[in-house]
Amino acid sequence: MLASVALAVYAVALAAAGVGDVVRFQIPNGLSVALVLAFVLFAPALPLAVTAWHLATGLAVLAATAAGFALRLMGGGDAKLIAATALWLGWRNLMPFLVLMVLAGGVLGLVVLVARRFAPDPVAPGRWYSRVLARDEGVPYGLAIALAGLALLPRLSPALLQ
């Protein structure tokens, strides 16, 4: 029962992070914290050794993304969301997650560039999409992170993670 609730929190938190980043260019810390706390509920469904690998994966990815943030290669919300998602996915699913995230980010970047090319200048202020279409803004990469994490949701069954 707790594992099912935790998986639901995983899905809702990632979806909220992706949508929130597109709309506000911000990923609230509470969503990354919710992912970590939900994993705490999910972990008892896993063998201890598997849980340890998930923790190690999450910490290693947090260190790498913190370095990326320090070097101004990514936003802090993106760094925390990637690490919290990696905690859930573990070492076994880390590479598929990273590949899907990069592919989704590439498609997202191309879509945003094309949309900005054809958007009126200036973009209608106050609309939810105005920052996405603004030429001086970045790309809301939280959407790519969320899509990759959600695509791997079927792999999060405790039986498949062992």
* The predicted structure's pLDDT at residue 157: 82
- Between CA 119 and CA 117 the distance in angstroms is 6
How do the domains of the chain map onto residue ranges? 2-155
pTM value is: 0.94
Average pLDDT across the chain, whole number: 94
Question: Alpha-carbon torsion 36, 162, 154, 25, what sign?
Answer: positive
What is the per-residue pLDDT across 54-64, written as a single tens digit (0 to 9) for each? 999 999 999 99
Residues 37, 32: Cα–Cα separation, whole Å: 9
In tens, the pLDDT along 59-104 reads 999 999 999 999 999 999 999 999 999 999 999 999 999 999 999 9
- Residue 161: per-residue pLDDT: 67
**pLDDT of 123:** 80
- Contacts (Cβ under 8 Å, ≥6 apart) of 129: 123
Q: In 3-state terms, what secondary structure has residue 158?
A: helix
Percent of the chain with pLDDT over 70: 98
